[in-house]
Amino acid sequence: MHLGLGSFHRSHQAWYTAAAPDWGIAAYTFRNTELPRALNAQEGAYTMRVPGEADAVEAIGAISRAHAGGEVEPWLRDLASPEVEVLTLTVTEAAYAPPEPGRDSATARLLAGLRGRYRANGAPITVVPCDNLPANGAVLRSVLRASVSDDARFAGWIEDHVSIVSTVVDRITPAPVSGDAEAAARLSGLRDAAPVVAEPFTEWLLCGSFAAGRPRWERRGARFVDDIDVYASRKLWFLNGAHTLLAYAGLARGHRTIRDAVNDGRLAALVQEWWDTAARHIAVDPAEIAEYRRNLLIRFAARGIRHELAQIAHDGSQKIPARLLPVFRAERAAGRLPAPVVFGLAAWLRHVQTGQARDPRDAELAEAARSTDAVRRSLLALDPEIGADDELVSAVGAEVRSMAGRGSVLTTRR
């Protein structure tokens, strides 16, 4: 089963699962109804186009059936079935919170399904979160424990029968745009109402044990590792951190895509300075990091992948703490105030002040942005520790005022 059916799932977990034809996926969305309808009309099959010097198109048939988010009974029935041995998730960082009464959420659906499985047959299952949250498996485990602490028997069953595997996932998969279906049909000869476009690069690292069976994802290059933390930091800081900086700084400079932003000399310099800063705090061979950086620049500048900055800018209050703040804290411990983080936070605040930010904490951030001490209040809302850092608040405030005065995000720093 999968929760969070969208483009990334279809370019990543479903693509890996397609190499194990004896497995199929029952995939559930949150609210989208058109995508499940389109996929079911095609018996779950779709095409994935990989742009390059010679575009490649692959037909993928790993999805057995697709369901809209409102289909509660099938969800409960599927998750209670012992035939279901693995549940993958693609949710945002904001989804990792204990469920609130009467509110639909990923954790509420997961707990309802697990409780039904516990009552029906108690068969073991493995949950595999696939997102950009550090230690995502451990975080999900702690959320489940907190949510069932008042039910000792159910809590005990979860501990003994529900494995949770931590992951690092990577494949740039832009949101669908008009023309994708026509391009897929032209290259493949297939009519597809739900095509996906993805970059050639893909990575899936998994750490943990499986309670029952699993697809042979390693057939397509998935790797099973003993320690995933360093890989998570590498990806979050270097890829996602650079994406975050390019999103806010790029939007402020009038760019629309990652490719446009990274081809801006000032923004490219900002990313390199960020990577130099992050490289001081990661226990990976410097030669490997240098190669990773070179590949990222190639991926960011690739033609045919239109990765919208506005899409990346969503949910900044949930993303920045994992992508930028660990490096910031390490730099502060060494007595330094990292300029790329100052620029990134200032550009994020300018984005919030425009009223265009889409964030689960929109109301709180908008109120903070209107206050007389907007920068400090906004940073406190983001993270109490950094909001209490007077030097950072002063530096970010100065940069915000400079941006507002010149309509640009970067001063020349040499």
For residue range 344-395, what is the model confidence (pLDDT) as tens digits? 999 999 888 887 778 888 777 777 666 667 889 889 989 999 999 999 999 9
For 165-202, what is each residue's pLDDT tens digit? Answer: 999 999 999 888 888 999 888 988 889 999 999 999 99
CATH class of this structure's domain 2-224: alpha beta
Biggest CA-to-CA distance, the chain: 65
Q: What is the pLDDT of residue 221?
A: 97
* Cβ contact 147:106 at 8 Å: no
Crossing angle between the packed helical segments 362-369 and 339-353, to the nearest 10 degrees = 100
Q: What is the pLDDT of residue 59?
A: 95
CATH 3.40.50.720 fits 229-406, yes or no: no
CATH 3.40.50.720 in the chain, residues? 2-224
User: What are 361's two structure tokens?
Assistant: 């904490």
Q: At 212, is the secondary structure helix, strand, or coil?
A: coil
| 350/401 Cα distance (integer angstroms) | 9
pLDDT exceeds 60 at position 266: yes
> Phi and psi (nearest 5°) for 247?
-65, -55
Q: What is the pLDDT of residue 412?
A: 36
CATH 1.10.1040.10 in the chain, residues? 229-406
Rg of the chain (C-alpha set): 22
What element of type H or E holds 114?
A: helix 106-120
